[in-house]
Chains A and B, each alone.
Chain A
């Protein structure tokens, strides 16, 4: 049976957006040691912020996408201040934070549905005509999605390795008390991590909405896939999240060539479980 490279391409498109969103999730886990169930809603809110700017206010799509970033970041910071920070200060455990974020996720998702209804919506943007390149069909929008994702992943790499902020973020994730003793204001690092994590997730939401549709459940629907990407890559490891996101996206889409598309999530999780049985420390565990 000849394999259609179209599936691989679809996988790269989906995988790169999952990877972006998963980086935010894993960075927050690394710094704060808790799994943020509301992370999917940040993705949804990023998409809706851009949708309002684009469709309701009539701003050009690119401007709307850029506007969505500070809005989502502001929201994530406000929620940290009002919800997570007080819990952290009182020494709440990871489980309390997890359940709280789960509740927050439901509240946010319902709020989005109340305001914008559950109808799927689309961005007002062109570039949806498919071009045929080397035997695969791809739209200008899809090329943009992959390029933007890759550029952002490279930017994150440079931030983490070439700037003291990035080095300090990694240090805080690695050993918080040692970072404190080195003079790092770790609460400020937490703030930066929300800024970067929520910013990337907002962009991921916009890109996913661009590739498919914007709807209230979009972020929550992807949450388990993002978890899979994070776990696959080794929890707290941003490079692992990139690799995990791409792997899962590609695996899901390629599976469509062999079995029904409705089994995509099962494929993602089967791969995750099998890989973890083989390498319990995650995909990148081998180089340690």
Chain B
């Protein structure tokens, strides 16, 4: 296993009460890759996601991102470091416009500081203007420009997925965690989202880590896949290697017979 991945997860542990959710989990996400994280239900994928993105504090192990340890940092600091995530049910701020949804993801958030001692009103105005420009540029990129001033809850489900990805891009991430991006989508929209993910990787030099149940999509889109079962890594490699791994086959057969 190489040690120069963009994201390195080492010996991660997480317990809930007496239940072990993640048990010495290891994973590397290479720069500019699309990496998949799969495993049977209850394997701990969601807990790994939540721990990397800062929603859970791990009980052991470490998460190193771009050479810097981010274990247990608050969510907004992890976003600042360059990791952002989406949610499986395509979360938006429903009563806000598409444009406002993006503004929330603006980097820096200088306007939130109580005493902007380092930045005068001029820098503040410049900051706001840059955020507006960035948001409009991303709306164009994700082909949502026409919906700019519509409320997010008026969007179709596919558009809401695109909005989530646009909001993620707004934070200027290096790594985007996608939590079941295909969930609830008809197959033609799945193809669309796959196209967007590949295009964003190419054109914007992004890295993706995807949790997904749709095996065809995962096998098709990922360069590398990590498989987990009962909180542990049981295999990692190319889709081809993983598909033929005995333990992986067993893990999934076990699920089907259960």
Contact = CB atoms under 8 A, between A and B. Distances in A.
Interface string A172-184: 0011011111111
Given A182-B79, A183-B76, A184-B109, A170 B96 contact: yes
Contact of A168 (B54, B79, B80, B109): B109
Contacts of B107: 183
Interface in A87-111: none
A181 B103 contact: no
Contacts of A192: 112, 114
Contact of A182 (B84, B111, B113, B131): B84
B128 A164 contact: yes
Contacts of B95: 170, 174, 288
Contacts of B101: 171
Contacts of B119: none
Contacts of A66: none
A183 B171 contact: yes
B141 interface: no
B21 to A, nearest CB: 18
Contact of A167 (B76, B100, B114): B100
A58 B79 CA distance: 51
Nearest to A172: B104
Contacts of A184: 76, 104, 109, 112
A186 interface: yes
A118 interface: no
B91 A183 contact: no
A168 B112 contact: yes
A165 interface: yes
B84 A191 contact: no
B128 A189 contact: no
A195 B167 CA distance: 28
Interface string A184-196: 1110110110010
Contacts of B114: 188, 191-192, 195
Interface in B48-102: 53-55, 74-76, 79-80, 84-87, 91-96, 100-101
Interface residues of B, number: 36
A186 B167 CA distance: 17
A212 interface: no
Contact of A164 (B54, B55, B131): B131
A182 B96 contact: no
A117 interface: no
A215 to B, nearest CB: 33
B14 interface: no
B96 A174 contact: yes
Given A164-B131, A186-B76, A188-B113, A181 B53 contact: yes
A163 interface: yes
B74 to A, nearest CB: 8
B227 interface: no
Contacts of B106: 164, 183
A181 B173 CA distance: 11
A18 to B, nearest CB: 24
A190 to B, nearest CB: 11
A164 B133 CA distance: 13
Interface of A: 163-165, 167-168, 170-171, 174-175, 177-186, 188-189, 191-192, 195, 288
Given A165-B112, A182-B104, A184-B109, 6 more contacts: A163-B111, A171-B100, A177-B75, A178-B91, A182-B84, A182-B170
Instruction: List the 5 closest A-B pairs by CB distance, nearest first.
Output: A183-B79, A180-B75, A171-B104, A182-B105, A165-B111
14 contacts: A167-B103, A168-B111, A168-B112, A174-B94, A175-B91, A178-B91, A179-B93, A181-B86, A181-B87, A183-B171, A184-B112, A185-B76, A185-B109, A188-B112
